[in-house]
Chains A and B, each alone.
Chain A
Amino acid sequence: MTAGLLKKNITWLYVAVFFFAFIIRFYSLGAFQVYSGDEDIQIPTAYNYTAKGFLGPDNWFHPPLQDLLLYGSIKIFGDNPVGWRMVNVFFGSAAVVVLFALAVLVFDSLLVAVTAGMLLLLDPLHIFFSRSSMQEIPAGFFLLAAVYCLVKTLKTRQSGYLFVAGVLLGLSISEKWYALMMLPAALAVIGFDFWKKQGALGALRVAAYLLALPLTIYVLVFIPWFMRGYSLTEWLQFEMNAFWTANHMTLASFANKRLIVVGKPITWFFKFVGVYHRIGPSSYMLVLNNLPVWLFMPSAAAYLAYRSIKEKKAAAMMIGLSFWSIYLSFILMSRPLFIYSSILLLPFGFLAIGYGAQELLKKNAYLFLAVLSLWSLALYPLVAGIGVPRVIYAPLIGFLENFLG
């Protein structure tokens, strides 16, 4: 079934996707009435940074956009669990919609769109952190939306999409620096395409949009910091120091160890990495990589990269290169990386799985999706802290206890 059929109903479908994603992420959000995860340092920092440009008590080397967003959310929804977590609920839900739209745009396939969208909609790790205040969810959304705009640029050649892509990349980098890792790939794919069709000036134009704009956005989010009296030189020194510190951290550097889920990136797709806590008589808090689904990701991403390069499809190349440029950077990093850093990879990985399912499984692809979705759905109550019937869940809990300890 082609997207030509989809285009007739596309708006209501996007709204429906957002609605379901939002419900799944919002349901029982206020169950934890106290700070959980890093909230006890992130929420105070939201106040401290917005009012005083003061970057503590959260990690000072994190770019501060999340502080501004959290502050806004608290002002709108109140200083309560909903206010603390609504930023991530919104961006986590919106990411599902953008992924769906990106799949339609790149692959022109309902199957790929539904597969990728469902896998992200139901991914336990993405759901868990969409119910938190961690930066990875908004960072992942902005990056995904930027890639959408870059693909639109490839297809339409309109500067407007390039401009928006630059702004979104800037927003992603202002949450976490991870988007910098795929910037060379974006410059290479888009820049080369524009160079072929518009010459050196076309490529330079791409570089200007994808370098100057993100940097501009990044500097702007530091306005509260500059209002403390700092100069540009001091800001450059600060950034160098932040980069140095972030790259020289060890596990002992992290004060908030309650949710530390560490696993080397090379293992994310090959073994269970996670923790779980019992929070009630029949309810749990589970942080987990969804291994039965993720297992397919590296091979699917490799297959996508291979096919897109062989068939010279720039849009599909963007997806494969986005996945591999970020993942290989993670593997090469010397500092500890937590499992939630993988959130930025998930949309690209799920797109690759959807594409692989379409090309290799063909008619069986929907059955494949149904099986994976049922498994992911079964984990949902454990991720959302919803009480489960122990009789039914005992085997699953036993299984997880076996692997996670």
Chain B
Amino acid sequence: MSFRGKQIDRRLYEITGLVLLFLLILSGVAFLGGGSRKQFNTHRVYRVDKPEKALYLWRKLGVRGRTVVFLGQVFTLKELSSLTAPEKNINAGRSFKVSKENFLLLASYEKIARKFYRVVPDRHWARVKKRLAPLDSYYSNGRQIFLTHEGGIPIIFTRLRDIRASSDKALIFIEGSDIKDYGAAGVRKLINNRKMSDVVILRTGTKKRNRQ
């Protein structure tokens, strides 16, 4: 092979090597992301009397890297900018008292929840869309509204009929007192959908025996 021929080979090797390196890194992070999730092949429904008990349950079950589907009127992913300077550094050894105002934020921080679907009752959809539209990260494809919490957490506003099951099973949280807003039949279908979720938490206001 001529000297010139060897030069061409080297350049091709460099180009191929760089592209392969990039693809390898992409594959690596994709594998890392998938490997960081923990979900189950079973389907369980739990009842809690307080919303924040969902966090304790998720911690106990050891779920990781999950999508949370939230049905309820009061959805609080507390804005970090509203916290004082020491509290913003959640990792600095300070322990939060878990409450209904912060349990979702803590679930996110503890890598339990990576993404939230906030299910909006049909009759509230137009009002919610109007309220969210001025926000910086607002984007809508017509069916769903996409926002990003200031911690970089995706929040997707959607309607019950637009939720689809996927291999990435969701953690479902339902505020029992708000079921009528979504329609009992639709909620029942969601609760019983084994493909949709492996862990369903129903906040009922009273302690009841959990079923599978």
Interface residues of A (CB under 8 A from B): 35, 40-41, 43-44, 47-48, 51-57, 59-61, 159, 198, 201-202, 204-205, 208-209, 212-213, 215-216, 219-220, 222-223, 225-232, 234-235, 237-238, 241-242, 244-245, 248-249, 253, 255
Assess the A245–B137 pair: CB atoms within 8 A: yes
Assess the B83–A212 pair: CB atoms within 8 A: no
Q: With the chains together, A245 CA to B137 CA distance in Å?
A: 5
Q: Does B194 contact A (CB under 8 A)?
A: no
Chain B residues closer than 8 Å to A226, beta-carbon distance: 29-30, 32-33, 36
Chain A residues closer than 8 Å to B36, beta-carbon distance: 226-229
Assess the A228–B114 pair: CB atoms within 8 A: yes
Assess the B151–A228 pair: CB atoms within 8 A: no
Q: With the chains together, A354 CA to B88 CA distance in Å?
A: 45
What 5 pairs between A and B have smallest CB-CB spacing?
A229-B65, A55-B152, A56-B151, A44-B89, A57-B80
Assess the A47–B65 pair: CB atoms within 8 A: no
Q: With the chains together, A281 CA to B75 CA distance in Å?
A: 49
Assess the B114–A230 pair: CB atoms within 8 A: yes
Q: Does B204 contact A (CB under 8 A)?
A: no
Assess the A225–B152 pair: CB atoms within 8 A: yes
Assess the B154–A237 pair: CB atoms within 8 A: yes
Among residues of A, the one whose C-beta sits closest to the C-beta of B168 is A231
Residue in A215, A223, A228, A232 whose beta carbon sits within 8 Å of that of B65 in the complex:
A228
Q: Would you give the shortest CB distance from A18 to chain B, in whole angstroms? A: 32
Chain B residues closer than 8 Å to A232, beta-carbon distance: 26, 29-30, 33
Chain A residues closer than 8 Å to B14, beta-carbon distance: 159, 205, 208-209
Assess the A54–B151 pair: CB atoms within 8 A: yes
Q: Does B22 contact A (CB under 8 A)?
A: yes
* Beyond A57-B88, A57-B150, A198-B11, 4 additional pairs, beta carbon < 8 A: A60-B150, A60-B151, A228-B36, A245-B137
Among residues of A, the one whose C-beta sits closest to the C-beta of B86 is A44
Among residues of A, the one whose C-beta sits closest to the C-beta of B90 is A48
Q: Does B34 contact A (CB under 8 A)?
A: yes
Q: Does B42 contact A (CB under 8 A)?
A: no
Q: With the chains together, A371 CA to B184 CA distance in Å?
A: 79
